[in-house]
Amino acid sequence: MRQVKLNWLTFLVGAVLFMFLLVGCNSSEGETASGDDSGGESGSETSSGSDDGGTSDEPVELSILVSETASTPGFKKVLEGIERDLNIKTKVEVRPGGPEGENIVKTRLATGEMSDLTLFNSGSLLMALNPEKYFVNLSNEPFMDRIMDSYKPVVTSNGKLFGIPARSSQVGAWLYNKKIYKELNLEVPKTWDELMENNEKIKAAGKTAVIGTYGETWTSQLPILADYYNVQAEVPDFADSYTEGEAKYSNTPQALRGFARIQEIGERGFMNEDYTVATYDQGMKMLAEGTGAHYPMLTQVLPLIAENFGDKVNDIGAFPQPSDDPSVNGHTVWMPDAIMINKETEKLEAAKKWLEYYISEEGIAAYQEGDKSIGPFVIKGVDLPEDAYPAVKELVPYFESGNVAPALEFVSPIKGPNLPQICTSVGSGQMTAEEAAKMYDDDVKKQAKQLGLNWD
* Residue pLDDT, tens place only, 336-368: 999 999 999 999 999 999 999 999 999 999 999
For residue 51, what pLDDT is reported?
66
Chain CA centroid to CA 6, Å: 74
Q: How far apart are CA 48 and CA 61, in angstroms?
A: 5
Using a 10 angstrom Cβ sphere, with 0-12 exposed, 13-18 middle and 19 or more buried, the burial of residue 42 is: middle
Q: How far apart are CA 208 and CA 288, in angstroms?
A: 13
pLDDT, one tens digit per residue, over 102-160 is 999 999 999 999 999 999 999 988 998 999 999 999 999 999 999 999 899 999 999 99
- Is the distance from CB of 210 to CB of 175 less than 8 angstroms? no
- CA-nearest of 87, 89, 90, 29 to 57 is 87
Q: How far apart are the first and last CA of the chain?
A: 97
For residue 248, what pLDDT is reported?
96
For residue 5, what pLDDT is reported?
39
For residue 148, what pLDDT is reported?
92
For residue 271, what pLDDT is reported?
98
Low-confidence ranges of the chain (pLDDT < 50): 1-49
Q: What percent of the chain has pLDDT over 70?
A: 88
- Is the distance from CB of 131 to CB of 162 less than 8 angstroms? yes
339 φ/ψ angles, rounded to the nearest 5 degrees = -115, 125
Chain CA centroid to CA 90, Å: 20
Per-residue burial over 299-311, b = 16 or more CB atoms within 10 Å of its CB, e = otherwise = bebbbebbeebee
For residue 333, what pLDDT is reported?
96
For residue 455, what pLDDT is reported?
85
Domains along the chain with CATH numbers: 45-168+337-370 (3.40.190.10), 170-334+393-450 (3.40.190.10)
For residue 56, what pLDDT is reported?
61
264's torsion region: left (phi>0), alpha (psi -120 to 50) or beta? alpha
Q: How far apart are CA 360 and CA 350, in angstroms?
A: 15
122 φ/ψ angles, rounded to the nearest 5 degrees = -95, 180
Give the angle 145-149-154 at the CA atoms, nearest 5°.
Answer: 105
